[in-house]
Chains A and B, each alone.
Chain A
């Protein structure tokens, strides 16, 4: 540990969180957990009661009358007969009753069931949170007992980048944007950036343009779009494998020209693809998965802003290349972007129906496309944000990439509240309250960033 840091302070954890206090906190959280469990059991009892009641109410009108035992007072019953089996007096609450038929009653009961279900759901979520809290308290208690120390340092920009470069490379070994890959397939990278920029371009243009001609053009544009997509896949593949490098450069030079050239390129790509053994595909998907895992890791292990910085470093480089290509690419791609918006959902099917290339290749390509989309959201996200700045286009929830961007956001959100980080705040305040009641200086507040970092590791 770098204890020699100029502005760092080292505090034993035990002094911040006295073991007995932590124990107390654990106990308290466990108690609330038990209470919640009881509440959940109660609600679940209601739900099961309700379902049995629904089945009873559904069954009653099947007969004209039922022979029953009528309760009489507390202990007595007498035989009776239930008639008017399709008339129910339903208690709506607050002393209000309504006359309903069996069907209507079942409707009411199902509505109630939905309410109960949502209650149970929220209770479960709360319990999960509490469990996480309890485990955190327990861990803190044991750590404090072990004599762990907390190192606090002011956050400085350079520091973070340093740490970035320290911790960055090992984690990025697998992704295709790592240094090694860059060296290997610099050209491919550029081409990929180019393609991405064009896709982005299309999306931006689509926002700016009216959508009236969409329908008329869809049939033709589908094909073009499919071509674009497969080409994009192709580029990605090349990046990953760095196998058929020859001739790519001149392709690159021509990319931004006419559709005939596209066709030519596509035919070549098809040839290449046919040669490609199936095994490679497997390899790629594996790699893609690894990448995805790595990105998840990144999201989990680092705070978001760090992530952002990293991607931005990368993106700013991309952006330069893109800006160069953008102008030529814009016009002729203008009319190709419409299908994209319509196709995003059924990418697979449209690709299959429209394209005339071997089926083998399409499934190949589309699966890759999916992988790529899944694995690269962080980059895409930033790409978009930057493109937006340049093009000044409004956001559209319908276009593909914004949809994708929402994914990483969601993921990271999920990752954070799921872990303990979200609770840091509560816990900290809890502790400070505790220490406040035991008249100790609540000094735990400013240390949040570091302790959060520490927590993230666990």
Chain B
């Protein structure tokens, strides 16, 4: 009978698929973490922007670069922060896209795994009958 070899093959198939699935899940988790980090950064930047907006024109603004504080123009700082916010937002959007993509992949993988499991089960049941 060919069923033992077929069964073995199916099981190997299942294993690889399950591995893929877990890899995908790991990716998604990592993505979520990055996303969280960016969200926090975005919040911080927005806070900074708010405070910078509240500052008067002649206020002294410094930026910490490495170990030194470098004096910066308020307008310059403002522009920098704005740019940064833009960048982070774009990044967040990109991450959203990838997460969605990954989740789709995950779902299809899940389906595949389920199908293989069912086939194995039916094969085993057939064997038990025979």
Q: Known contacts A439-B114, A439-B117: does B47 contact A96 (CB below 8 Å)?
A: no
Residues of B within 8 A of A53 (CB): none
Contact across chains for A97 and B69 when beta carbons are under 8 A apart = yes
Residues of B within 8 A of A263 (CB): none
| A416→B52 CA distance, assembly (Å) | 42
Q: Which of A96, A99, A108, A115 is B63 in contact with, Cβ under 8 Å?
A: A96
Residues of B within 8 A of A99 (CB): 59-62
Q: Known contacts A115-B47, A439-B114, A439-B117: does B84 contact A96 (CB below 8 Å)?
A: no
Q: Known contacts A108-B51, A439-B114, A439-B117: does B59 contact A94 (CB below 8 Å)?
A: no
Residues of A within 8 A of B84 (CB): 94
Contact across chains for A97 and B61 when beta carbons are under 8 A apart = yes
| A97→B62 CA distance, assembly (Å) | 5
Interface assignment of A170: CB less than 8 Å from any CB of chain B: no
Interface assignment of A10: CB less than 8 Å from any CB of chain B: no
CB 8 Å contact bits of B31-57 with A (1 = contact, 0 = none): 000000000010011011011101100
**Chain A residue at minimal CB-CB distance from B117:** A439
Contact across chains for A92 and B48 when beta carbons are under 8 A apart = yes
Interface assignment of B128: CB less than 8 Å from any CB of chain A: no
Contact across chains for A95 and B64 when beta carbons are under 8 A apart = yes
Contact across chains for A98 and B81 when beta carbons are under 8 A apart = no
| A95→B66 CA distance, assembly (Å) | 10
Interface assignment of A277: CB less than 8 Å from any CB of chain B: no
Residues of A within 8 A of B51 (CB): 92-93, 98, 108, 111
CB 8 Å contact bits of A82-117 with B (1 = contact, 0 = none): 000000010011111111100000011001100100
Interface assignment of B2: CB less than 8 Å from any CB of chain A: no
Contact across chains for A93 and B64 when beta carbons are under 8 A apart = no
**Chain A residue at minimal CB-CB distance from B121:** A439
Contact across chains for A96 and B81 when beta carbons are under 8 A apart = yes
Residues of B within 8 A of A107 (CB): 54
| A393→B114 CA distance, assembly (Å) | 58
Interface assignment of B65: CB less than 8 Å from any CB of chain A: yes
Residues of A within 8 A of B81 (CB): 94, 96
| A98→B50 CA distance, assembly (Å) | 13
Residues of A within 8 A of B63 (CB): 95-97
User: Shortest CB–CB separation between residue B35 and chain A, in angstroms?
Assistant: 18
| A92→B59 CA distance, assembly (Å) | 13
Residues of A within 8 A of B69 (CB): 89, 97
25 A-B contacts, Cβ less than 8 Å apart? Answer: A89-B62, A92-B52, A93-B45, A93-B48, A94-B41, A94-B44, A94-B48, A94-B81, A95-B63, A95-B64, A95-B65, A96-B48, A96-B52, A96-B81, A97-B61, A97-B62, A97-B64, A98-B51, A98-B52, A98-B62, A99-B62, A100-B59, A111-B51, A112-B47, A439-B117
Given A95-B65, A97-B63, 15 additional A-B pairs, CB 8 A: A92-B52, A93-B48, A93-B51, A94-B45, A94-B48, A96-B62, A96-B63, A96-B72, A97-B64, A98-B59, A98-B61, A99-B59, A107-B54, A108-B51, A439-B114
Binding site for A on B (CB under 8 A): 41, 44-45, 47-48, 50-52, 54-55, 59-65, 69, 72, 77, 81, 84, 114, 117
